[in-house]
Structure 1
Amino acid sequence: MELRQGYFDFYYQTSEDKLYLLVDKVEQPFIFQSSLPRGMGSNDIGLDRGQLGETRLVQFERFGNKLLLKQLNTYYRADSNNLAERASIDEAFATSVLAGLPIVASDSGKWLVDYTAFLLSDIHQIAPRLDQQKQGTYKPDAKRSGIYLNRSKAFPLNTELEALVTYVGNKAGEYVRQVTPEPDAISVHLHHSLIALPEAGYQQREFHPYSGYWKVEYMDYAAAIDQPMVKRLLPRHRLQKKNPDAAVSEAVEPIVYYLDPGVPEPVRTALYEGAMWWNSAFEQLGYKDAFQVKDLPADADPMDVRYNVIQWVHRATRGWSYGAGVTDPRTGEILKGHVTLGSLRVRQDFLIASGLTGPYSGEQADIEKQKAMALARIRQLSAHEVGHTIGLIHNFAASANGRASVMDYPHPLVTLHNNQVSLENAYREGLGEWDHYAIQYGYGDFSKAQLAKLVAKAKQDGLEYMADADARPAGGVSAIGHLWDNGKDPVAELMRLDEVRRFALHNFGLNNIAHGQPLSSLQEALVPIYLLHRYQVEAVSKLVGGAFYEYELKGEHTQPKGFKWVSTEQQQQAVQALLATLTPKFLALPDSLLALIPPKAYGDSDGRESFKGRTGLAFDPLSAAEASANHTLSMLLHPLRLNRLTSQGQLDSTLSTLSDAVMKSRNQKGHALLIQQRVRHVAFYQLMNSLTHAELSPEARAGLYQHMQALNEWLDKHDKDPNLKLLHQQWQQFEDSGEWKPVFKPLALPPGSPI
């Protein structure tokens, strides 16, 4: 056998393709990290190269002829010196045995176990994920799997093991077929990291809801009766000054991130520059070169826990980037940061920039400004995902707060200047004020009282903060937390963005695609420009039935800021701004542009980035208008929003305003009339969808039902219009049967996020 010595020694037997682990630490906790070093390449399935699995606190225990690898329950604890009290918690809650490893030899407190079957097992839960997503029924096949010795290594404080695992099955779904050469056999790599617990000396930091960090949470059954049982800690890297008394000092151990050598230029430089923005925040704390970015050594394994890495990951379609890590579940100490950046993201920003500016006026196009905007986004994205891996969560209030953080999702801030679309200030360069505050809170050498003052100053300075739970839901209540928006006043920004969009659409044409491209590719170039408003619509909709509040603790303010509804006047302005996106004037495309777009050229085809239509091969501008209108109306008529409007006494006026503007307006002709009629069908669908939605409160349901009855009376009086008659008949069918059976379902928008 071939021996590798380290934290856990292991032996590899070539003749049998078996891996044996030498266990000399029994009933001693360590960290077990699973990961996926080679993935499937599908954003939809979500099994990417470099993806980390769960971080587990485990230990080996002997039971007769085998060692059990047991995952300890770290959520339920007793932070107590009383061993019996701690044991009572261990006995009260379940643990989980991950594997039973047969002992093949033993000697003086050492056990040699056959680790092969466990290494080839589905630790990453790939088969259940494929089944849940209806992509097929699969299971690992040991005969088509094997130990990958090139990435199986042992070091003093960690042992890294890897295998090629083949999943065999049938009924392969669309996404599997898209990325796998033989859909009945999916071969990926699985990785196990066995990691020694970090040495003592790490200082835990208590979580604060305004800190801007993720949380590591557990329940402490030893907490005093007058103290909360739920404890929360900040996740962060260990960072200490070599000279704590010096104004500026190097770190005992700097935070070093290693860049994927497979990233091409100029993206590589952009990733490096964006990640290095964080060093400026640590410099403000008096550190010299505490945050560094280097090239990943040629012989290094990206999954090795010793390396924080930034990986450039390819997929069949554009998709999300993310920052994950290996975090000690006991303390919150980050042991490894792992950034995954989707390689197709940069192309989406370039597409937006090209669609806005039309740079292809000749065979030799000048596209430097467009590339500059795309690379500016990559710098920001690199900083954003690295931010996650040093502990930070999203701040979705930052873009409306002077672009105060890279931890927001930024929409390009494009403007009209000298009768041209300007890309000069699309993305902010460098960290924002919130980012510097967050690093101070998480990594500064401050007492609890000093941290409280830091929070108070941040609020006094006007730094706003909203995390995912408040900003992501379509029916969210926060008036300041939004994704992909800009501007402090959402309504004003939507109106400004409308001007940019109108200008770009008026000038949209052959100059928006490269020389030699099929004219039909204008469809895909058009999508992000026609829908330039989509995210700002979401921000505006959240003013309707929205509120202002912040994360605050008792005692932080003499008078708590509490909870305040958006004023009635602001809500009405928001409704009017949303209704403006439903008009034929807003939704119609220029005839000159429509005359340029033929059906798809042979060899090309519609994809997920294309508008869906109802006219066969011909481009369908009416369905594009339908999808856009459906987006606005689904946000405005979200059941949770209607519930809040009911509690504020504003439901009836909002619905009446909508019906007057959309359902009852009859002043259009030609193509504008067709758009108006289609929007009516969309509005009726969304009204009925909300009326029958399980989340609608009984009071809101009663109010909406009454409104629909009144609308039906109006429809009955105008049944000479066949479209209005169809709506009337649908209502009557609902009244007669008590069941909503739509004859029309609006088309969805092409994918928007991520950009």
Structure 2
Amino acid sequence: MSSTQNLTAVAAALLLLGATAHAQTTAPAAPANGASAPAATPPRPAADPAAPKPFAEVSKDAKRQDGLFPIWRKDEKVWLEIPKAQFNKPFMFTVNYANAVGERGLYASQMGRALMAEWRRVGNQVQLIALNTKFRAEGGGKLAGEQAFSPSLLASGTLASAEHPERKSVLVDAALLLTDIPGMSTRLEMAYRLPFAADRANSYFEAARADAKLSTLTARMHFATPRIPAPPLTPAPVPMPTPPQATPDPRSMFLSFVYNFQALPETVMAPRRTDPRLGHFAESFSDLSNDNKPNPRVHYLKRWRLEKQDASAALSEPVQPITYWMDKNIPAKYRGAVEAGILEWNKAFEKIGFKNAVVAKQQPDDADWDNMDAGHASIRWFVGADVGFAIGPSHADPRSGEILDADIGMSDVFARGGRAFIAEDVGPGKHAAHADEDFCNYAHEAAAEMGFAMDVLEARGEIAPDSPEAEAFVQARIKDVIMHEVGHTLGLKHNFKASTTVTQAQLSDKAYTEAKGISGSVMDYNAYNLALQGETQGSYNNTTLGAYDYWAIEYAYKPLAPEAEAAELAKIAARSTELQLAYADDADADLFDGIDPLANRFDLGADPMAYFKRRLKLSQELWGRVQDRKPQAGDDPLRQRRSLVNGFNQLYRAAELVGKYVGGMHMQRDLPGSTGRTAFSPVEPAQQREALKFLASGLFSADSFRFRPEFLSTLQVDYNEWERVGPMNIPAAVARVQLVVLDRLLNANTAQRLMDLPAYVPEKQRKGIISLSEVYGTLQSSIWSELKSGAEIDRLRRNLQREHLKRLQSVLTKGGAPGVMADAYALARLHAVQLQSDLRAALGKGGQSVETRAHLAESLDMLGSVLRANMQRS
């Protein structure tokens, strides 16, 4: 026993002896005559200093807001009143972000996490517990599931009051919420690589709202870091992000968290299962109730509760419409376009018997309530230093998938960013990515598309900056993006095959595009429909819902009798084989870098290859017109530069997507036995070869990127932004386009698929199928064509050839590494040996410029070293 423990034991013994002696000396003596002693008045128990104070004492002079959990406020103190019946009763706990930093993904007006939670009382401790809804079970498996999977503690605090004498409710200090419940410190560290932490002492509650189904507290949270480290004396191998740029002092920032406590519906909505043949967001979990099914995963479709007022009527208004509040921060001149984008969805609901299912309301400019609380589905306009996106998240009841709240956030990328592409106020590359799992960057990319379209039309003289036509152009795109984001909040996922359901002839037909749009769905990322010179021009962008949108709404919202629902839903989903209902989501577009060339972001028409070829022609047309235009007094210095960049951005996307044809496979979303279609089928060999030919003659050709010296020499810089924009680097812009192709065609995934393609084709049909050796050979002969022709190799081509050698080196020196097949290595080595021979022969011919000879000699030496090197086998 330690000396400290000894002293403690002695002190305890002395206290015990003293207490015993005191009891003996103060005990009343028995009466001498033996009569009973009069009853002694029991001593008043000493107050327990740890016991909660009476409810009335704590709440004295505080103001009460009645609600799900009544809110009490007195000066800077805030309490939540928790009725006894509300302990251990689930509710929705959500966090939204009303105010933020304004950069690097940290923006205002964003929805945060949603959890099913409950209050738990452990003695005088109150805990806010997030319930585990990822694993569920009923019957005999329920207890085992609860034992296996833990809930999470979000916040805790001691009781602030004893029970109310009548209501039996207690008060808890709301300061338990003045912590980093959303985990924002991690987000800040990701953005800045600095240890920002919540500063409770300088955080407070700035707003509160409560009603029968909702209690909301807005916490103004201060985050700080003690110091900003000095920059390293030498540049780090990996560049570090800069400290915050949008705050006055980079060590300090305030963010506002809107904490919502929302009652769950007393009557759980009947869930509806998803079907993979069409796309809806889902509330997914593992059902461990029994082990009868090999796959325990369950997916409840996310949708609003929509019920007819008159169930027998063919067309009826709903009991409760889906209402979107347009926030007062939306500029007045764009509210009409936003409202039109919302209400467009009523066309789909009318097809299934609902009138005015979707309602748009404008928040009054003098309103004192905030749309960020969970009581209002909203559309909010926000700004940021590097922002350019729209997002359409929602929060749903985990028990059923019923959507309870949705807040569409849309940046001013069109009102400011989009118009900047016309007025030349904003440079390229200012829109940063947003790190959020629910992120939809349609608005960001659509704004870039709009910039290119505006440049082309202005260069043709068909539209002028600040003209009514330009205004209509912006308004139309706002409606398009709002339709897309509202679709997300109705439960619909992306559909990246929808654009392939419209032919080029239909795209050129203005009557068709005005009536039916330019794509089969507003849920695709649709490019601008720009005609080539001399062609008929249809609508520039989507004007209305497509056939897929009507189908997806029907599946999610059509009223169905419970006993007939499964059969009716199967019947609806079985229409997936119809051409107009083609569907592919993000997974299809991204699987193994994207293997289906029909599942793309920002293509247009039934033939994506033809679209990409047209984009090259449009970029070259734009560049030609920009070079012909003489700079005018008052022009922005970066105007012409931006037009060049907009064209290169189009080709970067085209290069990336054309590469999907090579080794590509078409995918069909069918259920087993539902159709006779194949799930995977190789892209036709002719199309794969066409893609290689387009890359060789278009994107690998230096002739596609010729600019007049007289033009390049006049490109100005903005001396106010000199540190951000230097001289125009054409070789770097060309390399960005070309390298995305090389990286795709020479990676292990493409090699694997090209080797596997014959296994998916009957033996008698394998003649003519494209091989990995053919791809390697075609690439090599295209990239190194000057070796045969004897032509000079200019700088752009030398850069391309060096990059090709780098990738060959990677394959040949790491051929035994995981993911690189032995056959792919052997074929790459075979073609490298042939290239070595061709380089020797070209050097032997002589007559080239010193630059070309130096390049050939360097390339030969590098390739020889690679072929002699031992492989670094794992």
TM-score by length of 1: 0.89
> Which residue number corresponds to residue 117 of structure 2?
58
158 and 739 in structure 1: CA distance in 2 versus 1, 3 angstrom threshold:
farther
Tell me which of 558, 567, 592 is aligned to 1:444.
558
> Which residue number corresponds to residue 743 of structure 1?
none
Tell me which of 74, 77, 99 is aligned to 1:13.
74
Correspondence 1:121-270 to 2 at 5 A: 121-149=179-207, 152-169=208-225, 170-171=227-228, 174=241, 176-200=243-267, 202-223=269-290, 225-226=292-293, 228-270=295-337
Tell me which of 728, 732, 736 is aligned to 1:627.
736
Q: Give the C-alpha shift of residue 474 in structure 1.
A: 6.8
Q: Alignment length, in residue pairs? A: 718
Check if 1:414 corresponds to 2:519.
no
Comparing 512-521 with 135-144, greater Cα deviation is found at 512-521
Given residue 201 of structure 2, which amino acid in structure 1 is its aligned partner? K
> Which residue number corresponds to residue 392 of structure 1?
492
What CA distance in whole angstroms lies between the structure 2 residues aligned with 1:87 and 1:282? 42
Helix, strand or coil at the partner of 1:261: coil
> Which residue number corresponds to residue 337 of structure 1?
406
Contact in 1 for aligned 2:328/2:363 (Cα 8 Å): yes
41 and 561 in structure 1: CA distance in 2 versus 1, 3 angstrom threshold:
same
Q: Give the C-alpha shift of residue 592 in structure 1.
A: 4.6
Q: Give the C-alpha shift of residue 229 in structure 1.
A: 1.5
Between Structure 1 and Structure 2, the one with more helix by share is: 2
> Which residue number corresponds to residue 72 of structure 1?
131
Helix, strand or coil at the partner of 1:340: strand
> Which residue number corresponds to residue 53 of structure 2?
none
What CA distance in whole angstroms lies between the structure 2 residues aligned with 1:426 and 1:635? 31
423 and 155 in structure 1: CA distance in 2 versus 1, 3 angstrom threshold:
farther
What CA distance in whole angstroms lies between the structure 2 residues aligned with 1:417 and 1:376? 23
Contact in 1 for aligned 2:80/2:174 (Cα 8 Å): yes
Correspondence 1:74-113 to 2 at 5 A: 74-78=133-137, 80=138, 82=139, 85-107=141-163, 109-113=168-172
CA deviation vs aligned residue, 1:114-134 (integer Å, no higher than 9, x gap): 220x32211221111222344
Q: Give the C-alpha shift of residue 664 in structure 1.
A: 3.5
Q: Give the C-alpha shift of residue 685 in structure 1.
A: 3.0
CA deviation vs aligned residue, 1:5-24 (integer Å, no higher than 9, x gap): 1100122231x544444353
What CA distance in whole angstroms lies between the structure 1 residues aligned with 2:609 and 2:723? 34
Q: Which runs of 5+ in 2 are unaligned?
A: 1-61, 230-239, 419-446, 503-518, 758-769, 847-852
What CA distance in whole angstroms lies between the structure 1 residues aligned with 2:811 and 2:581? 36
Correspondence 1:644-723 to 2 at 5 A: 644-648=753-757, 650-666=771-787, 673-689=794-810, 692=814, 695-719=819-843, 721-723=853-855
> Which residue number corresponds to residue 22 of structure 1?
82
What CA distance in whole angstroms lies between the structure 2 residues aligned with 1:562 and 1:601? 53
What CA distance in whole angstroms lies between the structure 2 residues aligned with 1:493 and 1:353? 14
What CA distance in whole angstroms lies between the structure 1 residues aligned with 2:289 and 2:243? 49
Contact in 2 for aligned 1:59/1:70 (Cα 8 Å): yes
Tell me which of 663, 670, 694 is aligned to 1:577.
694
Q: Give the C-alpha shift of residue 619 in structure 1.
A: 2.0
Amino-acid identity (%): 25
Supply the RMSD in Å over aligned alpha carbons: 2.7
What CA distance in whole angstroms lies between the structure 1 residues aligned with 2:463 and 2:488? 42
Q: Which runs of 5+ in 1 are unaligned?
A: 611-616, 741-755
Comparing 632-641 with 539-548, greater Cα deviation is found at 632-641
What CA distance in whole angstroms lies between the structure 2 residues aligned with 1:687 and 1:342? 43
What CA distance in whole angstroms lies between the structure 2 residues aligned with 1:290 and 1:263? 23
Check if 1:291 corresponds to 2:358.
yes
195 and 697 in structure 1: CA distance in 2 versus 1, 3 angstrom threshold:
farther
Contact in 2 for aligned 1:38/1:50 (Cα 8 Å): yes
Contact in 1 for aligned 2:281/2:491 (Cα 8 Å): yes
What CA distance in whole angstroms lies between the structure 1 residues aligned with 2:340 and 2:585? 26
What CA distance in whole angstroms lies between the structure 2 residues aligned with 1:213 and 1:123? 29
Comparing 53-62 with 22-31, greater Cα deviation is found at 22-31
Q: Give the C-alpha shift of residue 383 in structure 1.
A: 0.8
Tell me which of 61, 83, 99 is aligned to 1:38.
99
CA deviation vs aligned residue, 1:476-516 (integer Å, no higher than 9, x gap): 21231111111222222222222222222111148598861
> Which residue number corresponds to residue 683 of structure 2?
566
Check if 1:305 corresponds to 2:346.
no
Helix, strand or coil at the partner of 1:517: coil
Given residue 2 of structure 1, which amino acid in structure 2 is its aligned partner? K
488 and 365 in structure 1: CA distance in 2 versus 1, 3 angstrom threshold:
closer
What CA distance in whole angstroms lies between the structure 2 residues aligned with 1:316 and 1:513? 29
Q: Give the C-alpha shift of residue 562 in structure 1.
A: 2.4
CA deviation vs aligned residue, 1:605-645 (integer Å, no higher than 9, x gap): 364xx6xxxxxx43222222222222332233333112211
What CA distance in whole angstroms lies between the structure 2 residues aligned with 1:597 and 1:124? 47
Tell me which of 274, 289, 314 is aligned to 2:341.
274
What CA distance in whole angstroms lies between the structure 2 residues aligned with 1:194 and 1:512? 61
CA deviation vs aligned residue, 1:248-296 (integer Å, no higher than 9, x gap): 1000000011112212244332222122211111111111111111112
What CA distance in whole angstroms lies between the structure 2 residues aligned with 1:439 and 1:320? 25
> Which residue number corresponds to residue 395 of structure 2?
326
Check if 1:729 corresponds to 2:861.
yes
Larger gyration radius, structure 1 or structure 2: 2
Helix, strand or coil at the partner of 2:126: strand
What CA distance in whole angstroms lies between the structure 1 residues aligned with 2:87 and 2:389? 40
Given residue 113 of structure 1, which amino acid in structure 2 is its aligned partner? V
Comparing 225-234 with 499-508, greater Cα deviation is found at 225-234
What CA distance in whole angstroms lies between the structure 1 residues aligned with 2:325 and 2:127? 35
Q: Give the C-alpha shift of residue 736 in structure 1.
A: 5.8
Tell me which of 612, 621, 626 is aligned to 1:503.
621
Q: Give the C-alpha shift of residue 243 in structure 1.
A: 0.7
CA deviation vs aligned residue, 1:548-579 (integer Å, no higher than 9, x gap): 1211112312x243221112221111111122
Q: Give the C-alpha shift of residue 361 in structure 1.
A: 7.7
Tell me which of 519, 543, 546 is aligned to 2:637.
519
What CA distance in whole angstroms lies between the structure 1 residues aligned with 2:784 and 2:170? 77
Contact in 1 for aligned 2:498/2:580 (Cα 8 Å): no
What CA distance in whole angstroms lies between the structure 2 residues aligned with 1:461 and 1:734? 50
Comparing 24-33 with 410-419, greater Cα deviation is found at 410-419
Tell me which of 428, 441, 452 is aligned to 2:542.
428
Between Structure 1 and Structure 2, the one with more strand by share is: 1
What CA distance in whole angstroms lies between the structure 1 residues aligned with 2:349 and 2:275? 20
Given residue 374 of structure 2, which amino acid in structure 1 is its aligned partner? V
Q: Give the C-alpha shift of residue 528 in structure 1.
A: 1.0
Q: Give the C-alpha shift of residue 138 in structure 1.
A: 0.6
Helix, strand or coil at the partner of 2:400: coil
Comparing 387-396 with 642-651, greater Cα deviation is found at 642-651
CA deviation vs aligned residue, 1:79-128 (integer Å, no higher than 9, x gap): x3x3x542332122111111122112121542211220x32211221111
What CA distance in whole angstroms lies between the structure 2 residues aligned with 1:268 and 1:519? 33
627 and 226 in structure 1: CA distance in 2 versus 1, 3 angstrom threshold:
closer
Helix, strand or coil at the partner of 2:550: helix
475 and 514 in structure 1: CA distance in 2 versus 1, 3 angstrom threshold:
farther
Given residue 823 of structure 2, which amino acid in structure 1 is its aligned partner? E
Comparing 61-70 with 410-419, greater Cα deviation is found at 410-419
359 and 428 in structure 1: CA distance in 2 versus 1, 3 angstrom threshold:
same
Q: Give the C-alpha shift of residue 735 in structure 1.
A: 4.9
Q: Give the C-alpha shift of residue 201 in structure 1.
A: 5.0
What CA distance in whole angstroms lies between the structure 1 residues aligned with 2:631 and 2:345? 37
What CA distance in whole angstroms lies between the structure 1 residues aligned with 2:382 and 2:819? 39
Given residue 57 of structure 1, which amino acid in structure 2 is its aligned partner? M
Bigger RCO (CA 8 Å, 6+ sep): 1
Given residue 355 of structure 1, which amino acid in structure 2 is its aligned partner? D
Q: Give the C-alpha shift of residue 524 in structure 1.
A: 2.0
Contact in 2 for aligned 1:135/1:171 (Cα 8 Å): no
Contact in 1 for aligned 2:304/2:322 (Cα 8 Å): yes
